Amino acid sequence: MEPNTLLDAALDEACVSHAGLAAHVNEAGRARGMALRYEHTAVARWLKGQRPRGRVPDLICEVLGERLGRAVTLDDIGLGTPGAGPATGTPLSGFVERATALWRSDEQQRPHVVGTAAVTGTPAVIPVWEWENPPEDADVSRDGRLRVGRCDIDMLGSARAHYEQMYRKAGGVATRARIVGFLNSEAAPLLRGSYDDATGRRLHRATGGLVAVAGICAYDSDEHGLAQRYFHQALRLAKASGDRGLGAYTIALLVNQSLFLGEYRQAVAFAESALRAAGPHITPALAADLYAMQAKAYAKLGDGQSALACIGRAEHEAEGIRRGQEPAETGYVQPGLVNVQVAEALLSLGDLAAAREHAAAAVDTPAHDRGRVHRLAMLTQIELRRGDTDMAVAAAVEMTERARGMESQRLRDRLRAVRERLVASKCAATAEAAELIDGALRVPL
């Protein structure tokens, strides 16, 4: 079930509590000869995505409409046609209302939104399919109170760069609340504003880049269902912008999440979709990352031939990267990133010598601290597999020092994984390194 953020937003606007809505719905039902006995727990279930039975959705509209002083429709409260998925055939205006309702619920830390699980199967695939296939948005113009101009769009782009750097330095846990607050206070009014088609496409592109970073921060906070919803939003915004490259970048984020969740076949399919649909609009940096992630997925599936083929494509694309010709979003594909991705794939295939060569090359290449932590973690793992405990300990110590001060669940996962491997080696030197990691992990997020 998908959390009903529209109903949550309507309750907040109407200043009605869960118990209050239940009581008003019961009263409205009695006026029509219905014996209803709803309590606040029923409203909590509706907010989690359960649809009330019979005529109750209409009673909810009536109750909220009286409180708000305007007509409230089923679509307004997320209780429209049953069985229609939230992203299927959605007009852009309806999407904007649902997206901004999610941002608001996230900022308020609503448990039915923050704790939602990631969807799998068809619901996970539909947003990617809709991005790749027609129909396109013929006109994204909108009439609203606030006139959107170039400076507004530039502000969103600057904010995206700012929060991306904050994420790299401080982690997603620390950054997420700030970027979600910005989406609510700045981006939401602009999306509801007034703009022509050309300005609207630039606006949706800038917002999509910002929403993607919000998804990265949610992913880094271990909130995978929420991260997935942000990535799906960014994909819809990319479609509205007409920028195929932005859509392919967003799918790369979904590929990375699929790898983490162990959905390897989905990772392969998503990457193939991005490479196919973006076509000439995809840049060498993004293509290199997509092929490298495909290689990791194939290696996990035990398909060595396909993994090696993707490694070759990734290395070829990486040779064509030109820093001044890449969009801001692909700045994460720094020198050495493909090396560490390839090292992980080769490690899964059991080629320790080649994996070590790529991991060492990645560590020897300058990178921001966050990226360096992941590279050092991979090198530590490979050195332990090779039996070189001295090199493993040196890499683990530097990794731990680099990770200090970052509020990131993903980095803590890497630290724990490295610690377990150090302890399993049962050497005095590795035990000291494991204790150092213990100290870093004792600092709460």
Determine the Cα–Cα distance for residues 223 and 408; give it in Å rounded to an integer.
12
User: What does pLDDT average to over the chain?
Assistant: 92
Burial label for 304, CB within 10 Å (0-12, 13-18, 19+), is: middle
Phi, psi at residue 151, to the nearest 5°?
A: -65, -30
Determine the Cα–Cα distance for residues 290 and 275; give it in Å rounded to an integer.
8
- The pLDDT assigned to 1 comes to 67
- The pLDDT assigned to 90 comes to 54
Burial label for 162, CB within 10 Å (0-12, 13-18, 19+), is: middle
CATH 1.10.3720.10 fits 243-350, yes or no: no
Q: How far is CA 378 from the centre of its chain?
A: 23
229-256 pLDDT, tens digit each: 999 999 999 999 999 999 999 999 999 9
Determine the Cα–Cα distance for residues 206 and 157; give it in Å rounded to an integer.
6
The structure tokens 């990791």 sit at 296
272-331 pLDDT, tens digit each: 999 999 988 899 999 999 999 999 999 999 999 999 999 999 999 999 999 888 999 999
Higher pLDDT, residue 112 or 372:
372
In which band, very low, low, confident or very high, does the pLDDT at 204 lie, cut at 50, 70 and 90? Answer: very high
Position 82 pLDDT exceeds 80:
no
Residue 11: closest CA among 21, 1, 25? 21
Determine the Cα–Cα distance for residues 60 and 78; give it in Å rounded to an integer.
11
Determine the Cα–Cα distance for residues 36 and 59; give it in Å rounded to an integer.
11
State what percent of residues in the chain have pLDDT above 90.
77
Domain(s) labelled CATH 1.25.40.10 in the chain stretch across 243-350
- The pLDDT assigned to 83 comes to 46
Position 89 pLDDT exceeds 50:
no
SS3 assignment for 231-248: HHHHHHHHHHHCCHHHHH
Determine the Cα–Cα distance for residues 394 and 121; give it in Å rounded to an integer.
42
405-432 pLDDT, tens digit each: 899 999 999 999 999 999 998 888 889 8
Average pLDDT (118-146) is 93
In which band, very low, low, confident or very high, does the pLDDT at 94 lie, cut at 50, 70 and 90? Answer: confident
Contact 60, 66 (CB under 8 A): no
**C-alpha separations of 348 from 232, 271, 413 in Å:** 30, 19, 19
Angle formed at CA 385 by CA 379 and CA 389, multiple of 5 degrees: 75
Position 53 pLDDT exceeds 90:
no
Determine the Cα–Cα distance for residues 123 and 103; give it in Å rounded to an integer.
20
For 350, which DSSP code?
Answer: T
Longest alpha-carbon distance in the chain: 79
Position 86 pLDDT exceeds 60:
no
Residue 64: closest CA among 55, 74, 54? 74
Determine the Cα–Cα distance for residues 95 and 231; give it in Å rounded to an integer.
14
Contact 49, 55 (CB under 8 A): no
Contact 253, 215 (CB under 8 A): yes
Contact 339, 379 (CB under 8 A): no
In which band, very low, low, confident or very high, does the pLDDT at 3 lie, cut at 50, 70 and 90? Answer: confident
Determine the Cα–Cα distance for residues 407 and 309; give it in Å rounded to an integer.
36
163-186 pLDDT, tens digit each: 999 999 999 999 999 999 999 999
Residues in the chain: 445
In which band, very low, low, confident or very high, does the pLDDT at 110 lie, cut at 50, 70 and 90? Answer: confident
